[in-house]
Structure 1
């Protein structure tokens, strides 16, 4: 009976992967709601759990694919691969309407580009400070500081190693959590109390989950405005990271 059970689940490991990720997401949002009262977004907790699971999976199996090295969870390797990842990014982009960006005005557009560039420069500087001198690694980690989505997209496009891509995700995760926690603390001092300032804030910070959670803790009515420009921020980052920004880093190093 046990052998039959294992065979069925191993043969349908992609279904198991979806069920596992769904369970982790439910647990993460439950923890975010009950323990942090929404101050830390569920997606950030889920990503942290995923990184921990990947680390422990590598130690336990001695492999290099994290939990995907377990035969029962082998479907996570496909689910987390480039095909489904790119599909998720494209499907997100299809939900964005350029007409909405006009509502942000010139300040909103400028904030998006400024936010991407400043975050990238800070991330790249940290990478250099820790001894990285390879343009691919510097660009990937810098892109991770933009968001934890831009980092992997950029890394895959320019051929970064798995370790560097993981660092880029971790950098984006730290930024997201800092934005979640810090937004309600500084909202009053920076005048974050109206839709216009929320759109500029979303463009500067960029991490959609961080901005959404931070604004929800500040004023739930501001969430749609900040999330709108933050979504464009991610798209701009995915375009600039493996192209213009990579070329600029390559010309320096």
Structure 2
């Protein structure tokens, strides 16, 4: 009987993945309420659990895809892929009211620019401090500080090594977790109580997952607005990282 159930789950990998992630989210929400009284959002806890499970899966199989290397959880590879991720990000934009979005105006545009340039500069300085002296590595790690999507996109475009690309992803992931966890605590100080401030915050913070989870823990009505500018932030970073920003770094440090 158990073998029949396991085979059924393996043959319906995507459905199994949705059910498994649903259980993880339920456990995370319970932990959030019971242990942190809602101060740390369930999404942040779920990401930590996911990272641990990915490490366990990679250790058990010696593979490169975490739990997705196990036949039972192969559907997680599809569910966590770019297709469904991008679909979820785009779907949030349909909840935005155009009249509210326009209120961000030039402040929102300036937040996008600053939210791209400042993290890149910080990431590039950290890369320099840790001994990286070539423009490719510095630019890739700097782009990772923008978001963990911009980092690998930039690295792939300018020919960074896999180790440097991995560092850029790790940098962006740390940033995303920090934004998730810290946003509810700093929301009152930052005035995160209206769509305009949420859009400015999304442009400055940049990381879609971090902004979405952080705003969800603060005020769920603000999530679409923060996610909208954060999505533009990722696109802007992917455009500037392997082009203008890379050439600026190359001009400063050489090839």
Separation of aligned partners in 2, 1:46 and 1:156: 29
Name the structure 1 match of 2:123: 123
Name the structure 2 match of 1:39: 39
Name structure 2 gaps, 5 residues minimum.
none
Relative to structure 2, which stretch is displaced further, 10-19 or 232-241? Answer: 232-241
Name the structure 1 match of 2:107: 107
Name the structure 1 match of 2:60: 60
Name structure 1 gaps, 5 residues minimum.
none
SS of residue matched to 1:128: helix
Matched, 1:5 2:5: yes
Relative to structure 2, which stretch is displaced further, 154-163 or 105-114? Answer: 154-163
Aligned residues: 253
Structure 1 residues 23 and 219 mapped into 2: Cα distance closer, same or farther (>3 Å)?
A: closer
Relative to structure 2, which stretch is displaced further, 152-161 or 39-48? Answer: 152-161
Structure 1 residues 8 and 235 mapped into 2: Cα distance closer, same or farther (>3 Å)?
A: same
User: 1:26: Cα distance to partner?
Assistant: 2.6
Name the structure 2 match of 1:23: 23
1:38–1:213 CA contact under 8 A, matched in 2: no
- Spell out the pairing of 1:1-253 with structure 2 (5 A cutoff): 1-92=1-92, 100-133=100-133, 137-151=137-151, 154=154, 164-183=164-183, 197=197, 199-211=199-211, 226=226, 229-249=229-249, 252=253, 253=255
Separation of aligned partners in 2, 1:98 and 1:160: 40
CA deviation string 1:227-253 (max 9, x = no partner): 554444344334434544345445554
Structure 1 residues 54 and 158 mapped into 2: Cα distance closer, same or farther (>3 Å)?
A: farther
Separation of aligned partners in 2, 1:78 and 1:222: 29
Separation of aligned partners in 2, 1:239 and 1:10: 39
Separation of aligned partners in 1, 2:192 and 2:93: 26
Separation of aligned partners in 2, 1:62 and 1:138: 30
User: 1:45: Cα distance to partner?
Assistant: 2.2
Measured on the aligned residues, the alpha-carbon RMSD in Å equals 3.8
Relative to structure 2, which stretch is displaced further, 180-189 or 100-109? Answer: 180-189
SS of residue matched to 2:104: helix
With the length of structure 2 as denominator, give the TM-score of the two structures: 0.74
Relative to structure 2, which stretch is displaced further, 231-240 or 90-99? Answer: 90-99
